[in-house]
Amino acid sequence: MKNILYTAAILSFLVIPVSCNQEKETPKPETKPMMMNSMETVIVKKSNPKVDLKLPGELVPDQETALFAKVQSYVKKINVDIGSYVSAGQVLMILEAPEIQSQAASAKAKWQAQEAIYTSTKSSYERMYRANETRGAIAKDALDQITARKLSDQAQLNAAKSAYHELQDINRYLVIRAPFSGVITERNVDLGAYVGPMGGAPLLVVQNTSKLRLSLSVPEANVPYLSVGDTVSFRVNALPEKSFKARISRKSGSLDLKLRSEKIEADFINHSKELKPFMIAESTIPLQNNEATFFIPRSALVESNMGIYIIKKENGKARFVPVKKGRILNDTIEVFGELSEGDAIIKKGNEEILEGSLIK
């Protein structure tokens, strides 16, 4: 029994080193070397296509005015309602202010009284002036007094006349007229309503709907391609089957601080009256450069922490060319950088391609 135990102990010591050696000698999986796939290249050349820019816009009336009461008064007569077409100068509403009319009558009476006083003073002045032609007939002091009185009465007459005309002007404010031809789109008062220059809703709103302005905000990157006179195509949701055209008439000449875009307006003559102010329009503007530029596949552009670049094949090796983006046309994009016609670039660029690596 002792011999058996002894033999087992010896065998256990022999097995342990063997297992340890087996663990140490376990072969590691072989790392296969990475193989560079062949990369497709394209030849770049210049072109100058028209690139459509789609922008949302809004149709606004060419002219719009809210009419308010100039003085505190009551609505005496209303000649129009919403939807009424009016012409420039047409009487739309008549207001009534009894106290203004009485003040105007009083001012006219004062003007007439002062005019009579001045007429009397002027006659006395003229008689004394003619009498003064006879030497020693009129004392110099008396002549100076009548001259001063004449000037004073004349000044008071002018003041009374001005006060009357001022009240007459205020009285004319009681007649509300159309400032231009258009359509009444709002009416916020009824007969007998008390109105005045205290803010709130206007009496009437007049819009010129025969001519509309298509208002658009063009992003900063597309501003250089637009000029006054360019044609804009647009559609509205109310008439999806129809397309309309307008011409750019105005450019703001400055960028909006928040949106970083320039406001432009295109005029549209609304003969058929189909389009209404404040409709939302989906516009299409063709953008074309003054000279040909490079358009490359969008897949060739690499955007990484190193910047925006494309990978150019130069002497069989990869070379990074920094570029700036421009317009987008379908699957191509406009780029600006150190490129020449005939250069070969990798069609599908990525960050894994190292600069200087061989290109098959």
pLDDT digits (tens, 9 = 90+) for 270-292: 988 899 999 999 999 988 888 88
- Which residues are 46's β-sheet partners? 294
d(CA 61, CA 209): 6
Query: How high is the pLDDT of residue 11?
Result: 45
Nearest to 281, CA basis, from 294, 268, 295, 271: 268
DSSP character for 27?
P
**Residue ranges per domain, the chain?**
41-48+292-358, 69-178, 208-288
Indicate the residue type of 349: G
Say yes or no to pLDDT of 37 above 70.
no
pLDDT value, residue 8 = 47
Which one has a higher pLDDT value, 153 or 216?
216
Q: What is the DSSP letter of 100?
A: H
Which sign, positive or negative, has the C-alpha torsion 8, 14, 16, 18? negative
Q: Does residue 359 register a pLDDT over 70?
A: yes
Confidence category of residue 56, pLDDT binned at 50, 70, 90: very high
In this structure, CATH architecture of domain 69-178: Orthogonal Bundle (1.10)
Q: Where are any strands of DSSP class E within the chain?
A: 41-43, 46-47, 51-67, 73-78, 85-86, 91-96, 175-177, 182-187, 194-195, 204-219, 231-236, 239-255, 261-269, 280-287, 293-297, 302-304, 307-314, 317-329, 332-337, 344-346
Residue 178 near residue 206 (C-beta atoms within 8 A): yes
- Report residue 61 as tokens: 């009336």
The more confidently predicted of residues 106 and 159 is 159
Q: Are strands 307-314 and 91-96 parallel, antiparallel or unpaired?
A: unpaired
CATH topology for 208-288 is: Elongation Factor Tu (Ef-tu); domain 3 (2.40.30)
Q: Does domain 41-48+292-358 have CATH number 2.40.420.20?
A: yes
Q: Read off the pLDDT of each residue in 113-128 and give the average, rounded to a whole number.
A: 85
Residue 128 has pLDDT above 60, yes or no: yes
Average pLDDT on 45-71 reads 91
pTM: 0.63
Cα–Cα distance for residue pair 94/186, rounded to 1 Å: 17
pLDDT recorded at residue 38: 58
